[in-house]
């Protein structure tokens, strides 16, 4: 299947977990890729090598999505290398399991800077490219905690993800006249390095036992992203796709 042949896809926070799974899925389907992370250069280089081995045209660009000058450079280099951008997946994010009384101003600001400000900055710099093309897909990777709240603290994380959903709806309205759709995916409990480091095995097992379909896999989120980026989703915008195994039902 090469349904994304010729399409240029950017995935932020792509070096592991959900981001890596999404990058691999698009690479396997013929997309050209920009993969981004703040991990050490050798980590990003290893990912680029893996994706090129799958036959994908791929560039790795290290940038902190919370810093506008770095985001501006990320998109300028994307335009220079590929000349267009068809799909932006805002996946870069951080999470910390901290009770409200433990959250410092620095921690609050850092979580919102990456998760919410990063979404804003990437969309801000992607929109001119997509408006000129009069086409594009923007996908935010939010979280089920944006809808039901978090069980183990990290109110800063839940707040940033809820902000992403409101941002998605508003941008969807302004982007629609240009043929650009803007949607979000709200994952539930997905087996990733970030989840393990944030909650630990005991809390994860307790949570997953209460989910009808159990623990999810990064490939489940990749499948949702492939759908929202597809022509089959052309009439879907401002929506949140719940991929949570039945953890939260609306």
Could you tell me if 183 and 139 are in contact, meaning their C-beta atoms sit under 8 angstroms apart?
yes
For the chain, which residues make up each domain, given as ranges?
8-242
pLDDT at 81: 97
pLDDT at 1: 63
Paired with 216 in beta bridges are 190
Question: 3-state DSSP call for residue 27?
Answer: helix
pLDDT at 122: 98
Q: At 201, which helix (H) or strand (E)? A: helix 201-208
8-242 is a CATH 3.40.50.720 domain: yes
pLDDT at 138: 99
Q: What is the dihedral of CA 240, 241, 244, 249, to 10 degrees?
A: 70
d(CA 141, CA 225): 9
Instruction: State the CB neighbour count (10 A cutoff) for residue 206.
Output: 12
Is-catalytic flag, 157? yes
* Helices of type H across 29-178: 41-53, 68-82, 105-112, 118-133, 145-148, 155-175
d(CA 162, CA 178): 25
Strands 136-141 and 8-11: unpaired
Q: What is the dihedral of CA 144, 109, 62, 11, to 10 degrees?
A: 20
What's the average pLDDT block by block, 10 residues per block, for the chain (250 residues)? 91 96 96 97 96 94 98 98 98 92 96 98 98 98 94 88 98 98 96 74 79 94 98 98 94
Catalytic-labelled residue, pool 4, 152, 157, 178: 157
pLDDT at 116: 98
pTM value is 0.95
Could you tell me if 18 and 187 are in contact, meaning their C-beta atoms sit under 8 angstroms apart?
yes
């Amino acid at each position: 299947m090469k349904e994304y042949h010729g399409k240029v896809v950017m995935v932020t926070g792509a070096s592991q977990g959900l981001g890596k799974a999404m990058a691999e899925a698009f690479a396997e389907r013929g997309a050209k890729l920009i993969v981004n992370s703040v991990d050490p250069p050798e980590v990003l280089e290893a990912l680029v090598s893996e994706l090129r081995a799958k036959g994908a045209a791929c560039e790795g660009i290290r940038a902190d999505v919370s810093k506008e000058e770095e985001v501006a450079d990320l998109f300028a280099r994307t335009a220079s290398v590929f000349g267009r951008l068809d799909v932006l997946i805002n996946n870069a994010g951080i999470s910390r399991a901290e009770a409200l009384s433990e959250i410092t101003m620095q921690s609050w600001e850092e979580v919102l800077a990456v998760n919410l400000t990063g979404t804003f900055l990437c969309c801000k710099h992607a929109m001119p490219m997509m408006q000129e093309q009069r086409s594009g897909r923007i996908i935010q990777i939010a979280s089920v905690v944006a809808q039901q709240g978090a069980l183990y603290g990290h109110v800063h994380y839940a707040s940033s993800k809820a902000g992403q959903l409101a941002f998605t709806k508003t941008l969807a309205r302004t982007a629609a006249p240009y043929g650009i759709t803007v949607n979000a995916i709200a994952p539930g409990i997905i087996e990733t390095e970030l989840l393990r480091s944030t909650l630990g095995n005991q809390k994860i097992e307790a949570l997953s036992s209460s989910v009808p379909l159990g623990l999810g896999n990064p490939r489940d989120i990749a499948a949702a992203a492939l759908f929202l980026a597809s022509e089959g989703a052309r009439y879907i915008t401002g929506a949140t796709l719940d991929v949570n195994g039945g953890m939260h039902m609306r």
